[in-house]
């Protein structure tokens, strides 16, 4: 048997050798070709197409954003442009993964709903600059004058506009009105001291068991920055290219968060989780009296038909009035097969008319100044605080996310937060360590 195998093995080996060689060449070709290319650059600005665009539009979209208002917009868009819009739904982290992989392979979707990635992807040449379109249509759609400044900046790189904010959310205070009334608290807290006093009054214990917590923080590190900004802390200085997280203001902000959990025991430990479901879940269950969250939790809490009265207020003020901003944006990939049609779709999605419809349907917060001052928004008790806070909301990782050192503002920062909250490391030690490690990484 062994000999029989050997008698075949020569031709088989030859075949496999040739096959392997071919595989090697085939694998090397794209790499060699890619090495020979200069790094991808934004496409040169051209005169916009005169003809009305039509055809297919493949859209990569957040699965949480399936609105009736979107269905209506798509139906009318397809009719107006003789187009077919097809959605591929995913969660934001998967959108990032998918877009990165397909953009690198040269086969991205035609249109993408993004989450804080426009600048990073534009830097790699994966996003179409909107210059030519804005020159033509910018004034008519009120861009950038009618949009919140931070919302515009988040979509720009080196002075070039690459995308639009579709939603412009921020963190405000959700509070249980019944618990406030029972604790004798007349109004939502407006300062850190009032916040702490309220949390202490609202926390209810039976023996060693805590029945109701005054407050609970989110686990995801990007939600904790509100406190730092309120205390006047800064994360990153673009001029010196250094993080500034060992400042007294940053230490004090984290100390405040840590103390609420372990010293005053008025805040529950955050739950380690991928999303941000724990605070609203505890709030709905009546286990916590105050949470800070975005407008995305309004609809789920309303839908839960909770038995208590609740409200939303602008966040408490520290040394300054501040909160952090979030929200999904829109971009057109550089290799989109139907850029002109994608632009027309983008215009519809950032129109005031559509944004008001989505606010009505899903209580979402939008980036237009005219939206914030609109009677529909000012008359909406749930949305009004977010509209007010939009004016001073800041990007939590502005500047630092352009360093190309993602680990500095994701993994390393989360580890620092975890060490302070769960390992009870002193904020001073943890932040000194973080600052040293982060600056070392940034200097490489």
Partner 1 sequence: MSAITSPIQPRAKKGFWGRREARIAYLFLSPALIYFFLFFALPILADLGMTFFAGVGPLGGGAFNGLDNYARLLTDRVFHQSLLTTFWFMLGAGGSCIVFGLALALLLNRKLRLRIAFRAIIFFPYMTSMVIIALVWSVIYDKQLGILNYLLSLVGIPPVGWLNDPDLALLAIIIVTVWWNTGYNMVLFLAGLQAIPGEFYDAAKVDGAGAIAVFRNITLPLLAPTTFFVLIMTIINMSETFIQPYVMTVGGPANATNLASYYIYNVAFTHLNLGYASAIAFAMFAIVFAITGVLFRWWQTELEY
**Which residues are at the interface with partner 1 (CB under 8 A)?**
1, 3-4, 7-8, 10-12, 15, 19, 23-24, 26-28, 30-31, 34-35, 37, 39-40, 93, 96-97, 100, 103-106, 120, 124-126, 208-209, 219-220, 268-274, 278, 281-282, 285, 287, 404-407, 410-412, 414-415, 418-419, 421-423
Q: What's the min distance (Å) between Cβ of 367 and partner 1?
A: 25
Question: Structure tokens of 391?
Answer: 């004016």
CB atoms within 10 A of CB 144: 18
Q: What's the min distance (Å) between Cβ of 145 and partner 1?
A: 32
Residue 162: burial class (beta carbons within 10 Å; 0-12, 13-18, 19+): buried
Find out whether 74 and 59 touch, Cβ atoms under 8 Å: no
Find out whether 214 and 198 touch, Cβ atoms under 8 Å: yes
What Rg value do the Cα atoms of the chain yield, rounded?
A: 26
Identity of the residue, 126 or 225, whose beta carbon is nearer to partner 1 in the bound complex: 126
Find out whether 288 and 268 touch, Cβ atoms under 8 Å: yes
Q: What's the min distance (Å) between Cβ of 152 and partner 1?
A: 23
Q: What's the min distance (Å) between Cβ of 328 and partner 1?
A: 17
Identity of the residue, 20 or 181, whose beta carbon is nearer to partner 1 in the bound complex: 20
Q: DSSP string spanning 56-99?
A: EEEEEEETT---HHHHHHHHHHHHHHTEEEEEEEE-HHHHHHHH
Q: What's the min distance (Å) between Cβ of 405 and partner 1?
A: 7
Q: What's the min distance (Å) between Cβ of 331 and partner 1?
A: 15
Distance CA 422, CA 230 (A): 23
Q: What's the min distance (Å) between Cβ of 280 and partner 1?
A: 12
Identity of the residue, 32 or 238, whose beta carbon is nearer to partner 1 in the bound complex: 32
For the sheet containing 169-170, what is the strand order?
169-170, 323-326, 393-395
Q: What's the min distance (Å) between Cβ of 177 and partner 1?
A: 22
Identity of the residue, 97 or 181, whose beta carbon is nearer to partner 1 in the bound complex: 97
Q: What SS3 class is residue 334?
A: coil
Identity of the residue, 120 or 395, whose beta carbon is nearer to partner 1 in the bound complex: 120
Distance CA 215, CA 37 (A): 54
Question: Structure tokens of 377?
Answer: 């928004």
Identity of the residue, 121 or 250, whose beta carbon is nearer to partner 1 in the bound complex: 121
Phi, psi of 423 (to 5 degrees): -90, 0
Phi, psi of 190 (to 5 degrees): -115, -10
Interacting residues of 405 by C-beta distance below 8 A, sequence separation 6+: 441, 442
Q: What's the min distance (Å) between Cβ of 407 and partner 1?
A: 5
Question: Structure tokens of 179?
Answer: 């618990």
Identity of the residue, 398 or 402, whose beta carbon is nearer to partner 1 in the bound complex: 402
Find out whether 326 and 169 touch, Cβ atoms under 8 Å: yes
Identity of the residue, 100 or 134, whose beta carbon is nearer to partner 1 in the bound complex: 100
Identity of the residue, 274 or 443, whose beta carbon is nearer to partner 1 in the bound complex: 274
């Amino acid at each position: 048997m062994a000999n029989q195998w050997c008698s075949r093995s020569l031709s088989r080996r030859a075949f496999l050798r040739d096959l392997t060689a071919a595989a090697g060449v085939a694998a090397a070709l794209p790499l060699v070709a890619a090495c020979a290319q200069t790094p991808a650059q934004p496409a040169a600005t051209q005169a916009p197409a005169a003809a009305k665009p039509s055809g297919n539009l493949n859209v990569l979209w957040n699965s949480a954003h399936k609105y009736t208002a979107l269905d209506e917009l798509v139906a009318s868009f397809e009719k107006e442009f003789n187009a077919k819009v097809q959605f591929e739904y995913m969660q934001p982290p998967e959108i990032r993964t998918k877009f990165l992989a397909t953009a690198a392979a040269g086969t991205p979707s035609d249109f993408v709903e993004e989450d804080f990635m426009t600048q990073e992807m534009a830097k790699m040449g994966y996003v179409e600059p909107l210059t030519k379109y804005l020159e033509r249509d910018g004034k008519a759609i009120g861009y950038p004058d009618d949009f919140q400044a931070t919302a515009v900046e988040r979509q720009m790189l080196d002075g070039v506009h690459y995308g639009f904010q579709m939603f412009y959310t921020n963190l405000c205070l959700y509070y249980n009105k019944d618990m406030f009334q029972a604790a004798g608290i007349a109004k939502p807290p407006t300062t850190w001291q009032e916040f702490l006093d309220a949390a202490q009054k609202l926390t209810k214990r039976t023996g060693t068991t805590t029945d109701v917590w005054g407050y609970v923080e989110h686990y995801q590190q990007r939600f904790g920055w509100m406190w730092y900004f309120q205390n006047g802390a800064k994360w990153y200085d673009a001029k010196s290219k250094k993080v500034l997280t060992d400042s007294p203001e940053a230490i004090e902000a984290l100390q405040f968060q840590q103390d609420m959990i372990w010293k005053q025991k008025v805040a529950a430990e955050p739950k380690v989780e991928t999303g941000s479901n724990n605070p609203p879940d505890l709030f709905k269950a009546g286990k916590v009296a105050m949470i800070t969250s975005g407008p995305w939790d309004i609809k789920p809490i309303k839908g839960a038909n909770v038995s208590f009265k609740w409200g939303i207020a602008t966040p408490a003020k520290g040394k300054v009035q501040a909160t952090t901003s979030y929200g999904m944006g829109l971009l057109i990939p550089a290799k989109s097969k139907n850029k002109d049609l994608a632009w027309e779709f983008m215009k519809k999605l950032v129109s005031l008319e559509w944004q008001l419809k989505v606010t009505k349907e899903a209580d979402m917060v939008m980036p237009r100044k005219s939206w914030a001052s609109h009677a529909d928004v000012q008359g909406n008790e749930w949305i009004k605080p977010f509209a007010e806070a939009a004016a001073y909301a800041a990007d939590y990782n502005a500047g630092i996310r352009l360093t190309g050192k993602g680990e500095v503002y994701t993994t390393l920062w989360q580890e620092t937060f975890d060490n302070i909250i769960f390992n009870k490391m002193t904020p001073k030690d943890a932040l000194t360590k973080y600052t040293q490690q982060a600056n070392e990484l940034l200097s490489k």
